[in-house]
Amino acid sequence: MTETVTAARTLRQVAREIRATWPKVFYGALPYLTAMAALDKATDPYGCDTGSEIVQRFLSNAATWRGADARRIKAELKLSLKGA
């Protein structure tokens, strides 16, 4: 089954769904998930970093998060990076 992914949601909305679907967030991904909760899009700045850097670091630390929700949300985040 192929799911359609749209990048219409803000990063803070995506972060909220991640917290709801990933009960025990990996400690390496947690700071980036927290940062994403303060961003609207991947082009927004966060401290000395960009939103796209935050998303990339989250994705690299979220390898242990698996399942249908994880695949769908990771694809959405990757799509947001292409638009940045």
Residue that wins the pLDDT comparison between 6 and 25: 25
| pLDDT tens per residue, range 1-17 | 455 555 479 999 999 99
pTM over the 0.75 mark: yes
Q: Residue 19 belongs to what domain range? A: 11-82
Is residue 75 in some structural domain? yes
Number of domains in the chain: 1
In a domain, 48, yes or no: yes
Question: 3: which residues sit within 8 A by CB, 6+ positions away?
Answer: 72, 75
For the residues of 6-42, what is the DSSP string, one character each?
A: ---S-HHHHHHHHHHH-SS--TTTHHHHHHHTT-SST
Residue 57 lies in a domain: yes
* 2 located within any domain: no
